Amino acid sequence: MSDEIIDDYKLVKHMATGQASQVWEVVEIGSSRHLAMKLLLPERLGDGDNYNFLVHEAEVGLKLAHPNVIRIFKLNRRKDNPYFVMEFFPAGSVRLRLQRRDTQFFEEKTMDIMKQTATGMAFMNAQGYVHRDLKPDNILVNASGEVKIIDFALAYQPPSFISRLFSGKGKPQGTRSYMSPEQIRCELLDGRADIYSFGCMAFELTTGRTPFRGASANEILTKHLKEKPISPKQINPRVSKPFGEFVLRMISKKKEDRPKDFHEVLMGLKNMKIMDSDAPEKKS
């Protein structure tokens, strides 16, 4: 597919493939600007659900302009080949860094990643959107620790009271290892659902694992609802006591017990050490 031209864009290099879509580095022919294009996989063309997710992701992104949120510039709604064009940010996800066990990188950059992610999420929530799928896979980070939040396919604006009366409950949407209890129960969500997911991610960044694990999706979801989490300090003794307690607060079962918004998260992270430099090494 390389060197193919779609409208005003020349496809240059394949960057990533997901379940239903792919991302390419492209060059805008008129300006020679390097951008990124997300389009459906050939076998997904004509699938109404995948089309709707792609269009919805672009529509949300077009309204968001923040240094820590990937910028979307243009949406093509054509049914036979829908796509959107976004800024070119050639960096892998936090998930890839975790898979590579890039210990030195996380030693130096975890606080940067957390503060920038929280800053981007404070902006997104302030625009009225709940991300609903905040996780390491959806955070891009480059070698210098610069962060971009991606993937708004599940982002939503909480419905009004009237529209809630006429809509069904639906089914839980998100990624099971990071879903808040209220998300699992299909309740009305606000930014505190994203704070829960952010807390699960903070747990994983400092321990290498998520707070709840299980043999099946249902077992993990049940643990989110009912099981009391342990502090990340119990897995990694180097985690500072205040940070471990703050992570537990973010993944409280009741949203009322969490920080009220990402501004409060940022205030909590201010002057906080993630690791104790003289603590023993992490358990294997």
User: Residues 90, 94, 100, 103: what is their CA dihedral angle, to the nearest 10 degrees?
Assistant: 120
| Greatest pairwise CA separation for the chain in angstroms | 59
Which is the catalytic residue, given 133, 137, 151, 194? 133
Where does the chain have alpha helices with state H?
Answer: 48-62, 94-99, 103-126, 161-165, 181-184, 191-207, 217-226, 232-235, 241-250, 262-269
**Closest among 31, 40, 37, 41 to 12, alpha carbons compared:** 37
Which residues neighbour 174 within 8 Å (Cβ) at sequence distance 6 or greater? 132, 133, 154, 183, 197
70, 149, 170, 202, 227 from 251: Cα distances, Å: 26, 20, 24, 10, 11
Token pair, residue 97, equals 């860094």
Catalytic-residue membership of 133? yes
Buried b (16+ CB within 10 A) or exposed e, 54-86: bbebbebbbebebebbbbbebbbeeeeebbbbb
Three-class secondary structure of residue 182 per DSSP = helix
3-state secondary structure 75-91: EECCCCCCEEEEECCCC
Identify whether the C-beta of residue 220 lies closer than 8 Å to the C-beta of residue 177: yes
The catalytic site residues sit at 133
